[in-house]
Structure 1
Amino acid sequence: MSNLSSTLAQQVTGCLRRHPAGGRLWLGYSGGLDSTVLLHLLASAGIPFTALHIHHGLSTNADQWLSHCGAVAEALGVPFVAQHVVVERGDGGLEHGARKARYSAFEQYLAPGDQILLAQHREDQVETFLLRLLRGAGVLGLAAMAECRVLGDRGENRTVLRPLLKAGRDELENYAREHGLIWVNDDSNGDVALERNYLRLRVIPGLAARWPIGDRVAQAADNLRETADLLGELAEEDLRRCGERCEAFGHSIDLPTFLAFSAGRRKNLLRNWLARMGAPMPEAAHLHQALRQAQAATDAVPEVALGNLVLRRYRDRLFLTPQLQPLDADEEGEWPWDGASELHLPDGWTLSPGRDWPKGDYTVRLRSGGERAKPRQRHHSQTLKKLLQEFGLVPWLRGRVPLVFREGRLVAVGDLFVTAEGPSEPPQWRFSD
């Protein structure tokens, strides 16, 4: 084995030892130089993995690339999977749309504990750093690509690993030639209308002619990541101080404690809270709006969308919740329930029997307005609107609380209370999407 082959192999195996996967290993295999080299390194080391090829459908050569990747993987005895995706050209442009589609496919295939290896190298890190700098990124953004990061929901322990970040593209080219590897060339790589290509072809060569740009960016990224890690530790401590807790729908923190922090500290906490819950980092304007709404009047119930989550406040708590989709007209009807099995309600909610809940013929429906109820142990009925306030149900769930009837009589309101006609305890009502 040549010195170059040994060096790259040690980089890969060392990275895998630092960040071991709890489940299967996958490789994001495009067929280009970088992923072809990583494919060969993994196969040569006898490391079991599956090659995952994403067919974006953006090039007339996409089908040929798919066939090529399948043939190379088969020749090396590597399991191969391909996934066709649809790239949405939204506000982020083509590059953003392709990346979003690609990572959605990764999340689809990876089970909890799995890890996907990507072949970005030192020059990719330089491009990412400069792109984020030009977009006005903060400390975490300028730390560029991490060697290892969480993919999707943190609770599922899926990770993205980049074992070749310290390697240069020239090293990968030399390795590929040394081993007679064949790779595909993406015809879009020369399109300077794409931001990353413009940096690679027009900007970075001039910088590299005067400064060792790869080494300098790697050092800066390491320093910034160290700072970002410290800010993350501060945010975790602040979340503990704010009494973060898991709610039936999302998470919440103590609002007065949060507002007592400095503006910068509140922003740092919110950024890290969003990241911990798997949300994409919002633009600065949206983050500013969220922080401003957190200080709204005490009787206000603001809602600020932050990616796939919503920041809300109620009483003395600040909430991060999933999005709630408007209920369709056909979702506002009623559902039969046997009282024994799990009943699936709109928007990811389920109703299941509580302790000592008897089987029977029940009807479940949502609020329509004007209902009254008398909780067990009460001497008179009250409007359901007032009872939901009294029992502390957050406003955004009051229109979705299930009302359980038997023989036309109300016997339970969600998991909040039962009436005299109902069992001893309410059923279980939870969000499971």
Structure 2
Amino acid sequence: MTCTIPEPLPTRLQAALQRHPVSGHLWVGFSGGLDSTVLLHLLASCQIPVRALHVHHGLSANADRWLSHCREFASSLSVPFTAVRIHVDSGKGGLEQRARRARYRAFAQAMSVGDQILLGHHGDDQAETFLLRLMRGAGVLGLAGIAESRTVGAGRSLLRPLLGASRAELAAWAADHGLSWINDESNADESLDRNYLRHRVLPALSARWPARQRVARAVDNLRESAELLQALALADLHDCGFRRERCGESLALGVFAGLSLARRKNLLRYWSLQQGGKAPEWAPLQQALAQLGAAAADAQVAVQLGGRVVRRYQGRLYLTPELVHYSMKEIGDQWRWDGISELLLPGGGVLAPSPGWPGSEYRVRYRRGGERAHPSDRVHSQTLKKLLQERALEPWLRDRVPLVYRAGELVAVGGLFTCEVAGLTQAPPPRWQFSD
């Protein structure tokens, strides 16, 4: 077996930053474990300006102590420190998966456009992920492993600069520099698949083969194949009449249905990743394709796919973000809006003034049932329910469309029309969009 001298960690770090330059701030996702501790110390040692971001899940009795440790360590390096407390919901997926989703949402919310967050994933993590996905029956895109860089929301990116290093190299750096770090007690729980692979499977493989290096080589080869598949998917996306929507994106369902089964699967995988989701697993991918093919033309389809939702409406295939569920008791009855600034709407969505929209004192609310409206381009008023159908508003958005009132009178339906009201008939309706 040939032995190569590992590339120094500072060299790896700086090379990765040069490959993926950004215009904004650099952040480190700082849990306080070995990986993120070494990464933060490396950046400080290389005098690279960075901010530390600690996500407090509240899942461990030690969470508050970990927060204090991370704040003190960042302070010792003169690194600005931010802590974000999050709630891990009880939605679909295991606890580890739900915590990961919540953590990445916190990353995106803390960052500004142009910013980049660095994570301490290394080559051993890559090997574990490869084996996990192999056991779940992943295809080429999934087996291509952890990407060095990807987006985390519009204009924001994520970088893993130490993917080429091993856990042993990080531990050696920590020992050489006298660093201390947090040991999360959950890392010893072998009922979790990743921990089982880490403690039982990979040591056995590494005793016979250089497992980490072999996996890294396989991942490189698979990534080349994945890039070819992505190029094909991009061409199919264009040919299927790709269109951005107020919530997600859509394709012409008829053209999509004319593709071979393999290309339809490939397109859905690529599309989910392009929206910032994950590579869909086999079962939900099969379910989505089966429902799209078997359901009646007017039937509602909503299948979870890689952190996104596949839907269908009026001959279009939609891929949307997961819409946040809400109850009227939680969100309140109505919300004030000045008509000038953006209004973040409960349950998702943003209302913003259109060109020429006048500032004033408005009230915004969702549908309650029984509303009527008089669009400025119509002679008579009509029930709002009928108008939303006529304007082809997607059914999953009809209870979320913002109704804008002034002095108790409905003056606009966000993103759709302005009502026949004095002083507003010439103004386009306020803009209404959903972020990813």
Distance 1:244 1:429 in 2: 21
SS in 2 for 1:160: strand
Distance 2:265 2:342 in 1: 40
SS in 2 for 1:51: strand
SS in 2 for 1:253: strand
Residue 133 of structure 2 is aligned to residue 132 of structure 1: yes
Residue 105 of structure 2 is aligned to residue 104 of structure 1: yes
Distance 1:165 1:384 in 2: 54
Distance 1:109 1:358 in 2: 29
Choose the corresponding residue for 2:241, options 236, 240, 243: 243
Q: Deviations over 1:204-227 (max 9, x none)?
A: 111111111111100111111222
Tell me, yes or no, if the aligned pair for 2:31 and 2:70 is still in contact at 8 Å. Answer: yes
Q: Specify whether residues 225 and 395 from structure 1 end up closer, same or farther in structure 2 by C-alpha distance, changes over 3 A only.
A: same
SS in 1 for 2:312: strand
Q: Could you say which structure has the larger radius of gyration?
A: 1
1:150 aligned partner, one-letter code: T
Match of residue 309 from structure 2: 310
SS in 2 for 1:427: coil
Instruction: Report which stretch shifted further, 36-45 or 182-191.
Output: 182-191
Q: Specify whether residues 186 and 330 from structure 1 end up closer, same or farther in structure 2 by C-alpha distance, changes over 3 A only.
A: closer
Matches within 5 A, 1:245-324: 245-295=243-293, 296-306=295-305, 309-322=308-321, 323=323
SS in 1 for 2:309: strand
Match of residue 115 from structure 2: 114
2:195 aligned partner, one-letter code: N
Q: Deviations over 1:242-284 (max 9, x none)?
A: 1211223332211211111111211221222222223344443
Q: Specify whether residues 6 and 42 from structure 1 end up closer, same or farther in structure 2 by C-alpha distance, changes over 3 A only.
A: farther
Tell me, yes or no, if the aligned pair for 1:49 and 1:79 is still in contact at 8 Å. Answer: yes
Matches within 5 A, 1:1-400: 7-87=8-88, 92-151=93-152, 153=153, 155-156=154-155, 158-295=156-293, 296-306=295-305, 309-322=308-321, 323=323, 325=325, 328=328, 347=347, 348=349, 350=351, 352=353, 355=356, 366=367, 368-369=369-370, 376=377, 388-398=388-398
Tell me, yes or no, if the aligned pair for 1:341 and 1:353 is still in contact at 8 Å. Answer: no
Distance 2:344 2:316 in 1: 29
Runs (5+) with no aligned partner, structure 2: none
Tell me, yes or no, if the aligned pair for 1:340 and 1:353 is still in contact at 8 Å. Answer: no
> What displacement does 1:121 show?
1.7
Instruction: Report which stretch shifted further, 349-358 or 234-243.
Output: 349-358
Instruction: Report which stretch shifted further, 353-362 or 423-432.
Output: 353-362
Distance 2:120 2:229 in 1: 28
Q: Specify whether residues 342 and 198 from structure 1 end up closer, same or farther in structure 2 by C-alpha distance, changes over 3 A only.
A: closer
> What displacement does 1:117 show?
1.5
SS in 2 for 1:77: coil
> What displacement does 1:430 show?
1.8
Q: Deviations over 1:5-36 (max 9, x none)?
A: 97221111001100112211112233333323
Distance 2:362 2:83 in 1: 48
Alignment identity in percent? 52
Q: Specify whether residues 365 and 299 from structure 1 end up closer, same or farther in structure 2 by C-alpha distance, changes over 3 A only.
A: closer
Q: Specify whether residues 429 and 159 from structure 1 end up closer, same or farther in structure 2 by C-alpha distance, changes over 3 A only.
A: closer
2:139 aligned partner, one-letter code: G
SS in 1 for 2:8: helix
1:197 aligned partner, one-letter code: N
Q: TM-score, normalised by structure 2?
A: 0.80
Q: TM-score, normalised by structure 1?
A: 0.81
Q: Deviations over 1:342-361 (max 9, x none)?
A: 88876536375675879899
Distance 1:59 1:360 in 2: 46
Tell me, yes or no, if the aligned pair for 1:367 and 1:401 is still in contact at 8 Å. Answer: no
Distance 1:178 1:36 in 2: 13
Aligned pairs, number:
427
Q: Specify whether residues 227 and 363 from structure 1 end up closer, same or farther in structure 2 by C-alpha distance, changes over 3 A only.
A: closer
Instruction: Report which stretch shifted further, 33-42 or 59-68.
Output: 59-68
Tell me, yes or no, if the aligned pair for 1:33 and 1:183 is still in contact at 8 Å. Answer: yes
Q: Specify whether residues 120 and 432 from structure 1 end up closer, same or farther in structure 2 by C-alpha distance, changes over 3 A only.
A: closer
Tell me, yes or no, if the aligned pair for 1:345 and 1:351 is still in contact at 8 Å. Answer: no
Match of residue 431 from structure 1: 433
Distance 1:267 1:273 in 2: 10
Q: Deviations over 1:279-334 (max 9, x none)?
A: 34444333223223333333334333446643322222222234274774899988
2:309 aligned partner, one-letter code: V
Distance 1:370 1:66 in 2: 50
1:262 aligned partner, one-letter code: S
Instruction: Report which stretch shifted further, 355-364 or 342-351.
Output: 355-364
Distance 2:10 2:74 in 1: 19
Instruction: Report which stretch shifted further, 353-362 or 109-118.
Output: 353-362
Runs (5+) with no aligned partner, structure 1: none
2:202 aligned partner, one-letter code: I
Q: Specify whether residues 143 and 331 from structure 1 end up closer, same or farther in structure 2 by C-alpha distance, changes over 3 A only.
A: closer
Tell me, yes or no, if the aligned pair for 1:118 and 1:162 is still in contact at 8 Å. Answer: yes
SS in 2 for 1:166: coil
